[in-house]
Chains A and B, each alone.
Chain A
Amino acid sequence: MARARARFPWRWRRALVQLGALAVFLWLARPAAPHAPAEAGWAFRLDPLAPLSALLGWTWSWWLLPAVAVLALALLAGRWFCGWLCPLGTCLDGCAAAGAPLRRRLPPAGAAIARVRWLRGSLFAALLAAALLGLPLLGVLDPLALVARALNSLDPWLRAGADHGSLWVADQVPAAAGASEPLYRWLSDHVLIQRDAVPALALLSLALFAGALLAELVARRAWCRLLCPLGALLGLAARRAPVRRTPDTTCGSCTLCATACPAGALTAGGKLDPAACIQCQGCQDACPRGLPRPARAAGPPAGEPEVSRRGFLAACAGGSAAALAAGGGEPPEDCLRPPGVADEGAFRRACVRCGLCIGACPTGGLQPLALEAGAGALFTPALVPRRGGCEENCTRCGEVCPTGAIPRLSAGQKPAHPLGLAVVDRERCIPFAQKESCLVCEEFCPVPEKAIRIVGRHGPGKPRVIADRCTGCGLCEQHCPVEGVSAIRVLRRGHASAGDD
């Protein structure tokens, strides 16, 4: 019995949900969130890679339960998250719609993609094995983190665009300024970032995001099918999901649904691979009889799994070898972790590399690391005091962290968790080297009883750091008026060159 086609096609329903979810995601991840922006991490609480990272770092937050629910949904009924909620998936679908004419002119790559569909699962296995052996890089390819980091990198340009644009409007069309200025003010206070410095690794962040978009021009959802670790995890869960597309093969000679499937879920021979299906329901739209629908399946899935047992073992071995080759990597003396981070190894494993802390840091001091502290610290946050210190009463990084990698400290707890220790360079410090008064470091020291004392009776007073009061906040380093490298620098505590002053 043929059913009538849905009057409101699935692709429209899905587009509405996707755009809504993307809007919520972007709103939550906006950098100008007010004082208690704990909600910034909410989107990542749906990301099953977040609890996985937390578990790898031996931490846990009950706030991650929604992500466990997403995983459970995949175990039960497949990858609805990927098709309907994932912000990167939505960007990719948008890119696919916009780039359709271009893609049609390129040679079809579907078959080639299908041949290398083992890549995603193998990469995931390798990343997992490497993470267990001290090279945690799962988050680098986390699709939500990919979007959040790209947004972080665009923030300063959005700010500059709004600044220049509003001036231009006010200048060219003075009559419009009555409307454009209040809009600018609202954006400035509630949406845009407050600073204009471009974060570190912005180009890499944007390149990863752009790469995923470009791959979309080669084949639909190429990123999701070949690289996405979240797709691999949810696919693994969905492989034996009892509820899946029924019928789980194409019918006879008609392959309209297989052609329409953006995820290549109907593999060679028209058999369904539930791990590939993203539940977009496009097959329902494509089927002249509207046949395929999610339903309780009778037996095991018809299609072949993406990774063979041998391939899986090889990937694990490869990941382990990479981790052993990369080594632990002792962080350099100026690598200052966010307040409260005690165990470097656990921090690296638990950090999902979402960059929310970096966007939320009001001074712009938190920056993603490149390879300064080894490959395993890629995109993890560290304080660069010259860009911005750690404000005394600010606890935003811990509030937004979705995995608990940065602990939630109260402002009162922060002094007990120093980030490092300030050290004066007497060769550069103005009162020492130029015999002129300065004392900006003392002025900015937020410790009420001052961790920097001005001492010396002869000539201008000179700064002296009192080690057991210094919280390593780096506000002194940020504001030091010496050109270039600051004359007062915060170094990791316990490091050989720290603690002599």
Chain B
Amino acid sequence: MTSPSRREFLAQVAAFTAGVTLLPPLLELDRLPAAEAGAPAAKPLLAVGRNADPEAATTAAVAALGGMKAFVKEGQTVVVKPNIGWDRSPEQAANTNPGVVKALVAMALAAGAKQVKVFDRTCNDAKRCYANSGILAAVESLKDPRAECVHIDNRRFVPVKIKDAVAVEEWTFYRDALECDVYINAPVAKHHGISRLTIGLKNVMGVIGGDRGKIHQNIQQKLADLNRVVRPALTVVDCSRILLRHGPQGGKLEDVEKRDLVIASRDPVAADAYAATVHGLKPEDLAWLSAARDAGLGVMDLAQVTVKEV
């Protein structure tokens, strides 16, 4: 296999040219939210939007957190990172519902974002995934030149040393995810063979480079490590339809249930913990979630979370 070495080379070129200025601020970024999460005084707020229309549910949930203007300031660059991993239709619930993505992008644009990028490093052929998920069409339907659903650019993976990591000390990350002003994580909550559920924290797999198969051994700890690097300002979990079996790809409509809800929170761990309950699991059932809590990434105990239903 020659490809990773070239990719790594390109990544290094990127890092040494324009990217040298990138790494120091990244490390600072790394420190800030950790301090925030460590402060137990602020009880994290979590909004649950219930609506048969995923777009409306998303808008309501974000509004309950103070609206998009609380996250996106005029002139900022925004990344909305849905799960577009599979060549599946919205009904099959293997990707984030296009309505959720559309609502987030529209709100970020309305809040005055300079640029909104939507992307994912897919598992199946990217062109098929972008088209069949409906997400490409959803973003294009906004007809705003500031918003674009772009394909992953292999030149833009940069190596990052992960501070305080336990299992992954260094990995390559997608530059746009690191450099943007506001990172909005927009996963779908679905069944997964090995991690039981894949929600927000596992969605980081779509912004890392390299051989992702290697992450699957000791995935619990590795996910916590990777999530030290990419810190979303906002996590919006799509539970409009949930895939209960045969995840993460699914494919059978019998495995999908409509739940008509969308979760939004600043706290990525709390968002995933709540999504776990939608699947009928307890947050403690998910080893990777406990590892993330132990890493100080957020609050897992839902008793410590203010839940706002809208």
Measured CB to CB, the residues of A under 8 A from B are 34-35, 160, 163-164, 166-167, 170-171, 185, 188-189, 194-198, 362-363, 391-394, 430, 436-440, 442-450, 454, 479-481
Q: List 28 A-B contacts (CB under 8 A).
A: A35-B131, A164-B13, A170-B18, A171-B18, A185-B150, A188-B151, A188-B153, A196-B2, A362-B125, A391-B87, A392-B251, A393-B128, A394-B87, A394-B125, A394-B128, A436-B217, A436-B218, A438-B217, A439-B193, A439-B194, A443-B194, A443-B249, A445-B249, A446-B249, A447-B251, A448-B251, A449-B252, A481-B213
Distance between Cα atoms of A187 and B195 in the complex (Å):
38
Q: B2 and A198: CB pair below 8 A? A: yes
Q: B252 and A448: CB pair below 8 A? A: yes
Known: A167-B17, A439-B193, A480-B213. A194 touches B126 (CB 8 A): yes
Which residues from chain A contact B192 at a C-beta distance below 8 Å?
A: 443
Distance between Cα atoms of A201 and B211 in the complex (Å):
25
Which residues from chain B contact A479 at a C-beta distance below 8 Å?
A: 213
Measured CB to CB, the residues of B under 8 A from A are 1-3, 6-7, 10, 13-14, 17-18, 87, 123-128, 131-132, 150-151, 153-155, 192-194, 211, 213-214, 216-218, 246, 248-252, 255
Distance between Cα atoms of A24 and B50 in the complex (Å):
53
Distance between Cα atoms of A166 and B126 in the complex (Å):
22
Q: B18 and A440: CB pair below 8 A? A: no
Q: How far is the CB of B264 from chain A (nearest CB, A)?
A: 27
Q: How far is the CB of B30 from chain A (nearest CB, A)?
A: 26
Closest to A437 in B: B194
Q: B87 and A448: CB pair below 8 A? A: no
Q: B194 and A167: CB pair below 8 A? A: no
Known: A437-B217, A439-B194, A446-B251. A35 touches B3 (CB 8 A): no
Closest to B194 in A: A439
Closest to B215 in A: A481
Which residues from chain B contact A167 at a C-beta distance below 8 Å?
A: 10, 13-14, 17, 155
Distance between Cα atoms of A272 and B13 in the complex (Å):
61
Which residues from chain B contact A394 at a C-beta distance below 8 Å?
A: 87, 125, 128
Which of B3, B132, B216, B217 interacts with A196 by CB under 8 Å? B3
Q: B213 and A440: CB pair below 8 A? A: yes
Known: A448-B252, A481-B211. A393 touches B87 (CB 8 A): yes
Distance between Cα atoms of A221 and B114 in the complex (Å):
58
Distance between Cα atoms of A445 and B17 in the complex (Å):
40
Known: A437-B194, A440-B213. A196 touches B250 (CB 8 A): no
Q: How far is the CB of A182 from chain B (nearest CB, A)?
A: 11
Q: How far is the CB of A37 from chain B (nearest CB, A)?
A: 11
Closest to A446 in B: B249
Q: A164 and B10: CB pair below 8 A? A: yes
Which of A391, A439, A454 interacts with B124 by CB under 8 Å? A391
- Which of B87, B124, B131 is the most central at the interface, judged by chain A CB atoms within 10 Å of its CB? B124
- Which of B3, B248, B252, B255 is the most central at the interface, judged by chain A CB atoms within 10 Å of its CB? B3
Which residues from chain A contact B14 at a C-beta distance below 8 Å?
A: 167
Q: B17 and A196: CB pair below 8 A? A: no
Distance between Cα atoms of A167 and B213 in the complex (Å):
28
Distance between Cα atoms of A132 and B97 in the complex (Å):
55
Q: How far is the CB of B2 from chain A (nearest CB, A)?
A: 7
Distance between Cα atoms of A362 and B151 in the complex (Å):
14
Which residues from chain B contact A189 at a C-beta distance below 8 Å?
A: 151
Distance between Cα atoms of A62 and B3 in the complex (Å):
40
Distance between Cα atoms of A450 and B155 in the complex (Å):
34
Q: How far is the CB of A429 from chain B (nearest CB, A)?
A: 12
Q: B217 and A430: CB pair below 8 A? A: yes
Q: A196 and B127: CB pair below 8 A? A: no
Distance between Cα atoms of A188 and B126 in the complex (Å):
13
Which residues from chain A contact B251 at a C-beta distance below 8 Å?
A: 392, 446-448
Distance between Cα atoms of A430 and B217 in the complex (Å):
9
Which residues from chain B contact A481 at a C-beta distance below 8 Å?
A: 211, 213-214, 216-217
Which of B2, B216, B246 interacts with A450 by CB under 8 Å? B246
Which of B1, B3, B6, B132 interacts with A393 by CB under 8 Å? B132
Which residues from chain B contact A163 at a C-beta distance below 8 Å?
A: 10, 154-155
Known: A163-B155, A171-B17, A454-B193. A448 touches B2 (CB 8 A): no
Q: How far is the CB of A378 from chain B (nearest CB, A)?
A: 24
Which residues from chain A contact B194 at a C-beta distance below 8 Å?
A: 437-439, 442-443
Closest to A447 in B: B251
Which residues from chain B contact A363 at a C-beta distance below 8 Å?
A: 125
Which residues from chain A contact B3 at a C-beta distance below 8 Å?
A: 195-197
Which residues from chain B contact A170 at a C-beta distance below 8 Å?
A: 17-18
Q: How far is the CB of B9 from chain A (nearest CB, A)?
A: 9
Q: How far is the CB of B134 from chain A (nearest CB, A)?
A: 14
Distance between Cα atoms of A198 and B125 in the complex (Å):
18
Q: How far is the CB of B194 from chain A (nearest CB, A)?
A: 4
Q: How far is the CB of A439 from chain B (nearest CB, A)?
A: 4
Distance between Cα atoms of A443 and B123 in the complex (Å):
10
- Which of A197, A437, A479 is the most central at the interface, judged by chain B CB atoms within 10 Å of its CB? A437
Distance between Cα atoms of A444 and B126 in the complex (Å):
15
Q: How far is the CB of A186 from chain B (nearest CB, A)?
A: 11
Q: How far is the CB of B173 from chain A (nearest CB, A)?
A: 17
Which residues from chain A contact B17 at a C-beta distance below 8 Å?
A: 167, 170-171
Distance between Cα atoms of A438 and B193 in the complex (Å):
10
Distance between Cα atoms of A163 and B14 in the complex (Å):
11
Q: B246 and A449: CB pair below 8 A? A: yes
Q: Which 9 residue pairs are nearest across A and B when measured between Cβ atoms?
A: A448-B251, A481-B213, A362-B125, A448-B252, A171-B17, A439-B194, A440-B213, A442-B193, A196-B3
Distance between Cα atoms of A440 and B249 in the complex (Å):
12
Which residues from chain A contact B126 at a C-beta distance below 8 Å?
A: 194
Which residues from chain A contact B123 at a C-beta distance below 8 Å?
A: 444
Which residues from chain A contact B151 at a C-beta distance below 8 Å?
A: 188-189
